């Protein structure tokens, strides 16, 4: 198995790769934020911005801070942070569903200076902010920025625990599959099978840019649009959406990233003398970590699953997000070792030692598809989370393999959005958006951080 062998490395020059990636984020920089990919995603996306800010922190700390401030300025009055900030009205023609279809920008809590969506995305900003702070040459000079950002991110967490955890389980739910960040995950299949969605006249723009076989299917897209339409009909009122939406899920990745961000906000708030905020954040992070272990661990599968809160049933499936609790130190040593074995065994490594880690869905899952978006291909952000998680648990060989697999894929295919994981056909192109910002940013992060191993978040071993 891979864990005992030295990670394979194709020839690439890290310096050149890093320079290419620096040019990608530079070219995707607009006035105050970075687009994920200029054709496919012409606005600002929440978790993209977090990952992208990490890339900027190595080359231009001003842009890293600006990226986050621009995003945080779009926060709603109730603390909600939108997954898309539609900065550019002209680009709306390029994208569907745009702000008007989503219909959230007229909400009483929404900002008035810019249009936003009414769904959110994973809470990465807390730990991103802590990385930035640790990398500041003169942190005191930017104390105002950090204090403001800490309290806005805290307000987002307050919103999540207040409005997304009605049963007070310390697990927050997502109410649209796009909120997970893993849009067409096979985890949602049983939910879609449980109800009918109308057929929408296809106005999608993504399939103009990308081969249809590599995107969510038309049928799945009907469900996504239907959820948006229902949310709009509920006036994006949280209580009404909770009563009405067919999709309410406690997602392992979303809750894990909230724990990691909560831990970071607790540490930073303490440092700035914001004691109540520190205490509350710490308490939430601990409680959510316990809840993830109690409710989402699937013993038969040796990883974390999803809970379908609407239909009151567990979704037991082997996805890469189900391994991500490693990132926040949530798993105990025994569970972590079982996930390590899963990653190095046939489920996530497949049968060919040259396959790349980590497919977004296990090779052994009947729904595994090496091309279709979140149902098989490798994504660099998930790999980065797993790389960091493995390092924390001392799985150094596995961590290094994930890092090398990631850098090799990007060096071989280009700075794409997602990648073919199998070793059987290395002639294929990369998939999705080209010059994709978080791929570039996290490659910079993986190359630079291994040159400066001390420059990261403090280890939070369980
Ligand atoms: C896709 C991805 C999502 C990402 C967005 C912008 O929808 O699934 O995670 O945030 O594109 O890059």
pLDDT digits 0-9 by tens, 8-37? 345 789 999 999 999 999 999 999 999 999
**Mean predicted confidence (pLDDT) in 107-133:** 98
More confident position, 455 or 330: 330
Q: What is the average per-residue pLDDT within 311-330?
A: 98
CB-CB contact of 131 with 265 (8 Å): no
Q: What ligand 1 atom has the least distance to the C-alpha of 48? A: 10
Element (H, E) at 17: helix 14-28
What residues line ligand 1, using a CB cutoff of 6 Å? 36, 41, 45, 47-48, 181, 183
- The residues that are catalytic are 183, 417
| Nearest in space to 216 (alpha carbons), one of 248, 250, 188 | 188
Q: What is the mean pLDDT of the chain?
A: 94
Radius of gyration of the chain measured on its C-alpha atoms: 20
For residue 119, give the nearest of 314, 251, 214, 297 by alpha carbon.
251
Q: How far, in Å, from the CA of 85 to the mean position of ligand 1?
A: 13
Site to substitute for ligand 1 among 33, 44, 53, 183, most atoms within 8 A of C-beta: 183
Atom 9 of ligand 1, residue of closest alpha carbon: 181
Q: Within a domain: residue 279?
A: yes
Q: What angle do CA 32, 37, 38 make, to 5 degrees?
A: 75
Candidates 41, 377, 416: which one to mutate for ligand 1, based on the most atoms within 8 Å of Cβ? 41
Q: What are phi and psi of 146, to 5 degrees?
A: -65, -40
Q: Which atom of ligand 1 is nearest to the CA of 36?
A: 12
> How many angstroms separate the CA atoms of 418 and 6, rounded?
25
Question: Is residue 457 assigned to a domain?
Answer: no
Structure tokens at 69: 């401030």
Alpha carbon of 42 to ligand 1 centroid (Å): 11
Q: How far apart are CA 194 and CA 191, in angstroms?
A: 5
Which of these ranges, 96-100, 179-183, 296-300, has the smallest mean pLDDT?
Answer: 96-100
What is the distance between the alpha carbons of residues 263 and 283, in angstroms, rounded to a whole number? 9
Residue 202 confidence class, pLDDT cut points 50, 70, 90: low
Percent of the chain surpassing pLDDT 70 = 95
CA 179 – ligand 1 centroid, Å: 10
User: Residue 196's pLDDT band (boundaries 50, 70, 90)?
Assistant: very high
**Quick check: 302 pLDDT over 70?**
yes
Model confidence at 315, pLDDT cuts 50, 70, 90, reads: very high
Nearest CA residue ID for atom 2, ligand 1: 181
- Which atom number of ligand 1 is nearest to the Cα of residue 373? 8
Residue 297 has pLDDT above 70, yes or no: yes
Q: pLDDT tens-digit profile of 228-268? A: 999 999 999 999 999 999 999 999 999 999 999 999 999 99
The reply to whether 243 falls in a domain is yes
Tokens of residue 279, six digits: 């205490």
The pLDDT-based confidence of 454 (bands split at 50, 70, 90) is: low
What separation in Å is there between the alpha carbon of 181 and the centre of ligand 1?
A: 6
Question: Does the pLDDT of residue 432 top 70, yes or no?
Answer: yes
Q: Of all helices (H) and strands (E), which one includes residue 116? A: strand 115-116
> Residue 431 C-alpha to ligand 1 middle, in angstroms?
13
Lowest-pLDDT range of 36-45, 114-123, 152-161, 423-432: 423-432
**pLDDT at site 7:** 38
- Rounded to the nearest angstrom, the distance between the alpha carbon of 234 and the centre of ligand 1 is 24
At 3, the pLDDT band (50, 70, 90 cuts) reads: very low
- Quickly count: other Cβ atoms within 10 Å of residue 314's Cβ: 13
Question: What's the confidence (pLDDT) of residue 426?
Answer: 67
Asked whether residue 184 carries a pLDDT value surpassing 50, the answer given is yes
CATH number of the domain at 278, please.
1.50.10.10
In the structure encoding, which two tokens stand for residue 335, read together? 């569970």
Return the closest-CA partner of residue 443 out of 35, 137, 52: 52
User: What are the backbone dihedrals phi and psi of residue 445, each rounded to the nearest 5 degrees, phi first?
Assistant: -60, -45
Ligand 1 atom showing the smallest separation from residue 83 Cα: 10
Those residues with Cβ within 8 angstroms of residue 338's Cβ, 6 or more apart along the chain or in another chain? 302, 303
Over residues 71-91, the pLDDT tens digits come to: 999 999 999 999 999 998 877
Most informative mutation of 95, 181, 438 for ligand 1 (most atoms within 8 A of CB):
181
Which of ligand 1's atoms lies nearest the C-alpha of 181? 9
Is residue 456 in a domain?
Answer: no
Q: Give the model's pLDDT for residue 208.
A: 79
Domain count, the chain: 1
For ligand 1, atom 4: residue with the closest CA: 181
pLDDT at 458: 42
Which range marks the domain in which residue 81 is found?
14-450
On whether residue 4 sits in a domain, the answer given is: no
């Amino acid at each position: 198995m891979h864990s005992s062998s030295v990670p394979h490395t194709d020839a690439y020059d890290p310096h050149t790769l890093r320079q290419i990636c620096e040019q990608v984020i530079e070219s995707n920089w607009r006035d105050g934020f970075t687009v994920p990919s200029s054709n496919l995603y012409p606005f600002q996306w929440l978790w993209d911005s977090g990952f992208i800010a990490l890339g900027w922190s190595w080359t231009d700390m001003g842009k890293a801070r600006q990226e986050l401030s621009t995003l945080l300025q779009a926060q709603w009055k109730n603390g909600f942070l939108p997954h898309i900030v539609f900065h550019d009205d002209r680009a709306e023609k390029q994208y569907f569903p745009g702000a008007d279809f989503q219909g959230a920008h007229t909400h009483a809590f929404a900002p008035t200076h810019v249009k936003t969506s009414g769904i959110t995305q994973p809470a990465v900003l807390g730990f991103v902010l802590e990385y930035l702070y640790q990398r500041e040459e003169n942190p005191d000079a930017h104390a105002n920025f950090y204090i403001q950002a800490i309290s806005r991110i805290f307000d987002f967490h307050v919103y999540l625990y207040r409005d997304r955890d009605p049963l007070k389980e310390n697990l927050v739910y997502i109410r649209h599959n796009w909120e997970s960040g893993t849009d067409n995950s096979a985890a949602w299949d049983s939910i879609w099978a449980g109800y009918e969605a109308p057929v929408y006249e296809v106005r999608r723009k993504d399939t103009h840019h990308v081969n249809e076989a590599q995107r969510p299917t038309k049928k799945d897209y009907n469900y996504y649009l239907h959820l948006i339409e229902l949310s709009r009909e509920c006036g994006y009122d949280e209580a009404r959406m909770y009563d009405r939406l067919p999709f309410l899920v406690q997602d392992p990745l979303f809750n894990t990233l909230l724990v990691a961000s909560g831990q970071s906000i607790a540490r930073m708030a303490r440092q700035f003398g914001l004691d109540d905020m520190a205490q509350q954040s710490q308490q939430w992070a601990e409680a959510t970590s316990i809840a993830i272990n109690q409710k989402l661990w699937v013993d038969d599968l040796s990883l974390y699953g999803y809970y379908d809160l609407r239909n009151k049933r567990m979704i037991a499936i082997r996805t890469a997000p189900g391994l991500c609790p490693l990132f926040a130190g949530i798993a105990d040593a025994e569970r972590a070792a079982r996930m390590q074995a899963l990653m190095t065994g046939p489920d996530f490594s497949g049968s060919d030692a040259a396959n790349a880690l980590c497919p977004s869905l296990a090779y052994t899952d009947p729904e595994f598809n090496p091309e279709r978006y979140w149902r098989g291909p490798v994504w660099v952000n998930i790999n980065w989370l797993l790389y960091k998680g493995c390092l924390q648990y001392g799985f150094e060989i596995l961590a290094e393999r994930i890092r090398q697999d990631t850098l090799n894929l990007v060096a071989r295919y280009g700075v794409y959005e997602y990648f073919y994981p199998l070793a059987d056909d290395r002639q294929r192109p990369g998939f999705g958006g080209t010059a994709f910002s978080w791929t570039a940013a996290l490659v910079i992060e993986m190359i630079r951080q291994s040159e400066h191993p001390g420059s990261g978040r403090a280890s939070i071993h369980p």
